[in-house]
Structures are given as C-alpha cells and as structure tokens.
Amino acid sequence: MALAALALSSCSFIDDFDFEVADGAVPTDDGAVGDAGERPDGSERVDGGDPASCVDPCLSDATLDFGDVQGSGPLQWRYLNDTRSATGLTYGELALSTHYMAPAWTDATPPPAIVDCRDSIDGACATASGQLVLEADALAGGSDPVLGFTATEDASYIVVVDVLAVDGGPAAITISRTSRLDSIAVGELSAPGTVTGVVDLLEGERGLVTVAPVADPGGALSVGASVRVSRVIGESLADCELVMPFDTDDSLALGCSEGTLTEGMGFDDTTTASGPSTAHGGARAWGYRGKALQAVGESPDYSGDFTVQLWLLVDNLSLSEPAVYTDATASSAENASGVRLSLARESDDGLRSNVATAVYRFGTGGDLPPTDPSVFCDLDGICIGTIEGSIPALDEWHFYRIVRLADSDEVRFCIDGELVGTGFLDGDLDISPRVTPTVGSSGTSAMNSLEGAIDDVRIFSRALPCGD
C-alpha cells in the first residue's frame, strides 16, 4: 500500500462571535438585526444624512473611506465580486467606474456594483441616505458585491452593517472571514435593520461583507447600507482556542494560543503546496509527506459551545481511514471525550462513497444512553456520536465545520456551509479532550495518514453558523 501524504497548506482566518439572525430577530449575544439605537461599538446608527464621523473605537467607515483605488483607507478596503461558487473560492476585483451618476466599483455590466451615494440621488441612490449601494445580480445567475477590509493586527473586529433600504429583496447579509463559507453572522432582511458580527482576524487577513439575494423577484437586488468596523473594547480573541495557519516562515507556529506544532514520524522531507484561493489572496502551503502534526500546549475547552473547522483537499482515499483532525480518546467512560474528523472510501452501510465523518465521544456518567440513532453506547458507558457527509469532490478545497450547541443538546456537521447532519450531545456534559489536537493522522506515528492537504485549522469556544 502506498504511503499516504499530508500536505499542510496555508491561508488564514480566525473567528470569535457567531450571529445567525433573520427578519428582525434579536439574538441574545452581540449580534443583532433590529431598530436604531446604540451599537456594540458605542456609536449611534446612521439613519440618514452625511456619514457619522469615525472616531475611536471606530477604525474605518466604508462610506467615509470609499476610494478610487483598491486598498483605500486605514483598513485597505477592497471592492470584490463573488461568483457564487459552491466552494466559496471564486472572487475577483471590481473595476472603478460610475453608476447612478456616482463613483462606483462595478463589473463590466453592473450589477454587481458598490456605489458611493454621498453626492447622488439617482436610481437606487435615492433611498441610500447618502451611504453606499451594494447591488447584486438576480438569483438565477451572476455574482454578488463584496466589501473586504484587512486586519492591521491580530485582534477582534466589530463589523456593523446598517441596512437603510432593500429593493428586490429579501437580502442575505453575510459577515465572514476570508471566504463567504467561513461565516460569522448571517442576516436576512427585506426592510431596514442591522447585522452585527465580531470577526477575529490575524494580521493581514481579510474580513468580508457580502450582499446576496435570497429569492428571485426577477431583477437585481439593491441594498442601501453603511458599513463600519471598530475595535473591541476589552479582551480580543477571547473565544479563540487554537489556530494552525501554516502561512508564515515558521509554518509550525500557532495563532491565538501558547504552544507550537511538532512533526510526527515520517519518511519524506517537507514539501510545499498551494492553499485555497480565498478572498485573502493566494495562500502559501506547507506540506509534510507521510507525517502528522501535533499541537503542544493546552487542550481545547469543549465544556460548552465550540467550533472546530478547517479547509481540506483530498487527493486520494486509501483502504485505511485517515483522521484529518483528532483530539478524541475513549479508553473508559470517565475519559471519553473530544472530536475527530475522518475519511473513508464508503459509508458504514455501504450506500455512499467518499465519506467524511464527524465523530464525538463522551461517557454516559451512569445514565441510560440516549436513543438518538447517531449515538452508539457500549456496556461500559462509552458513547460515540457519528455524523456522516459526502466529500463533494476530490482534488478540490472544501470547508468543514463541526459545531456544538449546548443549549439544544446538539452537534452539527457542515461541509461548504451546508448542514449534512446532526447528533445528540447532552449540553451539560464536558467533553474537553484529555489530549492535544493532531492533524493529518490518528497519531504522530500512525501510518493511516491523509493523502491530501489541510489548511487553517481553527477551534473556538463558540458555536459558529452551521446550517441554521
């Protein structure tokens, strides 16, 4: 059997808060879609007239800092389009032009377009109250406008999108990191409201605001909005447990946590590869053929909500079942804990091929095992929850996210932003692992290594969007 290869790539994102909101609902944390009032950054909502000034803690306002070159303002605003690929990896730059008799960044035949309406009341600018118009193609085809900003340091950034008018809606407003799939907050609006998210970014990474149609009324979608980014007052990166970015000269460095990565046993020298081409730009990749990497430091906190996510490219599936990520143990009911993402040529029932499986382990604590079909418990009280999904395609990058929602006793598994399944997990159980994470294999000396590439492994003590 050929030796499996693990190519660890680059790229980087990082998250913190998640807000999934829709049609005026007000969530319980710092994200909101709602009425005018004080924002999480301490500012007042802009309901009309000239844009408010941007003073500390505000870092940049997309209207005030609208520029005639890509990379304008203190946060280097970028004006992009998303061509709606299922992989979330098809971004391009818009070109400087005019639209509605105003400066604009557009496609050759807008939409998509991002328009500065401060000096225009023509067309959609008439209802934009001197702010921006973000215009997307109809749902049946085309692309969506994307505003991107660049992190000046490792920090948490508050993004506030005040929607002042929606024409051709409802509209999906997505706040994300580097790709639409790595979402932090998603709001669905057909009338004025606000979408807020806190995005954790490493220096040089990009936060995104995407406007897209939800339904197809037969024409383009136009949204008048202000977008501003502020610094978090207090501790930044508070919910970030671990980041493996793989994109610096020291490819084994960790982000947002103490410690480092160590190489396991292997037979080939370090190689390089290309990571996913997100809106962050081309990613540098680092590869370890036939080797696994293990984090050295503290184990993640899985006592409540958490998210484990990564980008994955699978070259080939061997007869073995390689672990892409694992911190799971289960030698007894007392230490059964952690999660695992593994791959297989076919599902347990033999009905599907090229399968990715999210696994989580826990002990029953003496209680009767749950009756959920996704969970199996043995006579010793060791329980294993499994959620199976299909790998969309080989030789392509795809985004995987495992999320625990403690309040609903649930674990979710998403691939490319789509929910593939759920499983039961009592919200009161602490399944924090007894071991530190390993990527690329089930152990640093294991032979069932991944044949493919992993990028941007991240863990957060917060439930990020997954099929909500």
Task: Give the pLDDT confidence of 277-305 residue by residue, as tens digits.
Answer: 666 554 544 444 456 777 877 889 999 99
Residue 6, pLDDT score:
37
Indicate the average pLDDT of the chain.
81
CATH number of 19-231: 2.60.120.680
Task: Specify the residue for token string 């000269």.
Answer: 249
Which tokens is 233 given? 């007052």
Residue 330, pLDDT score:
85
Q: Amino acid letter at 175?
A: I
The pairing of strands 95-99 and 260-263 is: unpaired
CA distance 212 to 193: 16
CA distance 272 to 373: 42
Q: Amino acid letter at 307?
A: T
Cβ-contact 204, 14 below 8 angstroms: no
Q: Which helix (H) or strand (E) holds 221?
A: strand 221-231
Residue 11, pLDDT score:
34
CA proximity to 243, closest of 198, 155, 159, 309: 309
Q: How does residue 269 score in pLDDT terms, banded at 50, 70 and 90?
A: very low
Which tokens is 95 given? 């070109």
Same CATH topology for 6-10+239-460 and 19-231: the answer is: yes
Per-residue buried b or exposed e for 134-167, using 16+ beta carbons within 10 Å of the residue's own CB: bbbbbbeebbbbbbbbbbbebbbbbbbbbbbbbb
* Percent of the chain whose pLDDT exceeds 90: 51
- Cα dihedral: 84, 88, 93, 97 (round 10): 30
Q: Where are the domains of the chain?
A: 6-10+239-460, 19-231
Give the distance, in angstroms, between the CA of residue 390 and the centroid of all CA atoms in the same chain. 19
Residue 445, pLDDT score:
55
Q: How does residue 315 score in pLDDT terms, banded at 50, 70 and 90?
A: confident
Task: Give the pLDDT confidence of 167-194 residue by residue, as tens digits.
Answer: 997 999 999 999 999 999 999 999 999 9
CATH number of 6-10+239-460: 2.60.120.200
CA proximity to 81, closest of 25, 148, 24: 148
Residue 195 has pLDDT above 90, yes or no: yes
CA distance 420 to 128: 38
Residue 388 has pLDDT above 50, yes or no: yes
